[in-house]
């Protein structure tokens, strides 16, 4: 990987990853609707609205691999999510195919399985139960990754990211947390591991309370440095003031499940 594109580079996660990935690849192409501050050596910026296919083609041109972070990271009006997360993601995959890109790392989310109750532990082979329209858009991206891997040979790793932060902020995040260094490690595995065709892993650190069986990540060489249990006392203290409601507290997707909820709690996620 000599030239790697990072979409969503001006966002919170993209900004963290830039610092960690600095120097890992000869050229890191940054793409967003606004230019990030303080470009580092080896970085170049290409402005691109992901809903604009021509702009996406310019950003993708000449790249060997793509880390696709771009899009809306929470629940928004459908029209906005359609442009950013559905059309935008399609544009990135299609531009990658046309440009002969070899690898794609897709930033998915744990919210694609957000409507499972918290009393379960499972891997990546369960049926999808999205928490929200946002979760649906990421499920769409995972399906696109499978299609482009099988039909066009674009090798892809989908990372169902939990919570990216320096430490878990509350008890729920003890199950979901991922240290930024660990996320960068998974993304490099996606770009470089020889055995990847189409794979899904969970973007979580070493979390003893995790709801997810992440053995596939381990098979690919993932060795997280973050240990959520090191922050258990602080998380328990923060939990006293954390957001809470019956639906959020029942399901893995928390607040994204409870937004606009009008279902049956005894049937949802079963």
CA distance 82 to 270: 28
User: Which residues make Cβ contacts (< 8 Å) with residue 37, sequence separation at least 6?
Assistant: none
Closest CA to 96 of 108, 88, 104: 104
Is 202 among the catalytic positions?
A: no
> 198 vs 6, 70, 106, 151, CA distance in Å?
19, 20, 11, 11
Q: Choose, from 134, 202, 212, 222, the residue flagged as catalytic.
A: 134
236 Cβ neighbours under 8 A, 6+ residues apart = 171
- Measured at the alpha carbon of residue 185, what is the angle toward residues 93 and 37, in degrees to the nearest 5? 70
Is residue 84 classed as helix, strand or coil in its secondary structure? helix
Active-site positions read 134
């Amino acid at each position: 990987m000599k030239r790697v594109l990072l979409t969503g580079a001006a966002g919170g996660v993209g900004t963290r990853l830039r610092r960690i990935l600095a120097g890992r690849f000869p050229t890191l192409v940054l793409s967003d609707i606004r230019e990030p501050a303080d470009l580092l050596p080896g970085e170049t910026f290409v402005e691109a609205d992901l809903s604009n296919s021509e702009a996406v083609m310019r950003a993708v041109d000449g790249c060997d691999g793509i880390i696709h972070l771009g899009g809306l990271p929470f629940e928004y009006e459908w029209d906005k999510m359609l442009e950013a997360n559905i059309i935008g993601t399609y544009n990135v995959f299609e531009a990658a195919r046309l440009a002969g890109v070899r690898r794609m790392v897709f930033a998915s989310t744990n919210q694609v399985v957000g409507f499972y109750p918290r009393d379960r532990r499972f891997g990546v082979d369960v049926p999808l139960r999205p928490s929200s329209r946002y979760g649906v858009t990421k499920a769409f991206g995972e399906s696109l990754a499978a299609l482009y891997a099988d039909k066009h040979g674009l090798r892809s790793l989908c990372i169902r990211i939990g919570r990216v932060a320096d430490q878990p902020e509350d008890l729920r995040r003890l199950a979901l947390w991922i240290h930024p260094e660990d996320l960068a490690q998974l993304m490099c595995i996606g770009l470089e591991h020889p055995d990847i065709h189409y794979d899904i892993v969970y973007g979580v650190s070493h979390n003893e309370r995790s709801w997810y069986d992440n053995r596939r990540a381990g098979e690919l060489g993932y060795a997280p440095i973050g240990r959520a249990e090191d922050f258990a006392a602080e998380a328990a203290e923060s939990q006293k003031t954390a957001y809470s409601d019956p639906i959020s507290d029942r399901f893995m997707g928390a607040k994204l499940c409870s937004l606009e909820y009008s279902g049956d709690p005894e049937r949802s996620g079963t």
